[in-house]
Amino acid sequence: MVKNIYFVEIPFSNFGNKKGRPILLFKELENDFLFLPLTTNLQRNGVIIEQKDLEKGTIKNKSIIIVPKIGTVDKKLIAKSRYFATIKNSKFLEVNSFICKSLECD
């Protein structure tokens, strides 16, 4: 399921409300996944993703994978969520590299 994009209801950072948005799963944990949200606001910091970056599935608009806005989501919630697409391995490696640079882990 890593490298997959799903549409999930996630809370705002103040936990006041939720918003449905696409997310990229990038790391599987025991009961959860780490994810990065996507946005069509191309002014955000992150990695650009468009249709040519997908292995399968579709996205409507060019988007940004927001890095390093990392969140966690329960695997049970993903099982109930709508699948959109799977990104190509080359794009996934670009995302991982961007995460490392952002978190200063290299």
End-to-end CA distance of the chain: 25
Total domains in the fold of the chain: 1
pLDDT digits (tens, 9 = 90+) for 75-104: 999 999 999 999 999 999 999 999 999 988
Instruction: Give residue-wise pLDDT tens across range 37-60.
Output: 999 999 999 999 999 999 999 999
Domain extent for 81:
4-103
Angle at 28 between CA 42 and CA 83, to 5 degrees: 55
- Give me the CATH number covering residue 78: 2.30.30.110
- pLDDT-derived band at 19 (thresholds 50, 70, 90) equals confident
One DSSP character per residue, the chain reads: -TTEEEEEEEE-TTSS-EEEEEEEEEEE-SSEEEEEEEES-TTSSEEEE-GGGEEEE--SS-EEEESS--EEEEHHHHHTSEEEEEE-HHHHHHHHHHHHHHHT--
